[in-house]
């Protein structure tokens, strides 16, 4: 929504700055998770993991990498197209990239929860904890904002 007295150009500039600031919150978490995942294969216990755990690790690594790519992309696009007169197109693409990045981050974090829980507990506890983690991401990061959108339109 435009602020009172705000031109279209001012609104786009503000929204782009807001988006880039929001990404500054998400990026440290995804970078720490990615760094952790890069170190895991070098631990002594990694050679003892099952094929399923290796698959979960690989899914977590790739999803976290993809999340990093998409969450960093808006800053790269903004920097490369800094003086572009069509900042609105940058904003729209950056918003899509941010959402895709958050989806990949949720999948990556859920895979990490599965991996750690499966290493420690196995079976039922793993299923419950992983399902709860996935549900938490789904509700807090996606359902609640979408439900709020629906109530604003009514």
Q: Which two tokens stand for residue 137?
A: 């991401």
Domain encompassing residue 133 = 8-153
Which residue has better confidence, 75 or 115?
A: 115
Is 70 contained in some domain? yes
Residue 135 has pLDDT above 90, yes or no: yes
| Structural domains of the chain, count | 1
To the nearest 10 degrees (0 to 180), the angle between helices 8-39 and 87-120 is 30
Is 141 contained in some domain? yes
For a pLDDT cut of 70, what percent of the chain falls above it? 95
Is 1 contained in some domain? no
Is 2 contained in some domain? no
* Interval 14-43 mean pLDDT: 85
Helix (H, G, I), strand (E, B) or coil at 3: coil
Is 101 contained in some domain? yes
Q: What is the pLDDT of residue 154?
A: 47
Is 97 contained in some domain? yes
Q: What is the pLDDT of residue 150?
A: 58
Is 64 contained in some domain? yes
Write down the pTM of the prediction.
0.84
């Amino acid at each position: 929504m435009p602020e009172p007295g705000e031109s279209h150009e001012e609104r786009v500039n503000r929204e782009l700055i807001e988006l880039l600031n929001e990404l500054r919150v998400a990026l440290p978490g995804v970078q720490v998770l990615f760094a952790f995942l890069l170190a895991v294969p070098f631990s002594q216990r990694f050679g003892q993991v099952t094929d399923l755990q290796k698959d979960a690790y690989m899914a977590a690594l790739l999803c976290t990498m993809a999340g990093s790519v998409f969450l960093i992309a808006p800053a790269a696009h903004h920097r490369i197209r800094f003086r572009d007169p069509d900042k609105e197109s940058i904003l729209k693409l950056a918003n899509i990239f941010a959402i895709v990045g958050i989806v990949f981050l949720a999948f990556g974090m859920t895979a990490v929860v599965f991996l750690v829980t499966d290493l420690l507990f196995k079976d039922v506890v793993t299923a419950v904890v992983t399902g709860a983690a996935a549900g938490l991401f789904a509700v807090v990061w996606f359902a609640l904002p979408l439900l709020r959108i629906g109530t604003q339109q009514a």
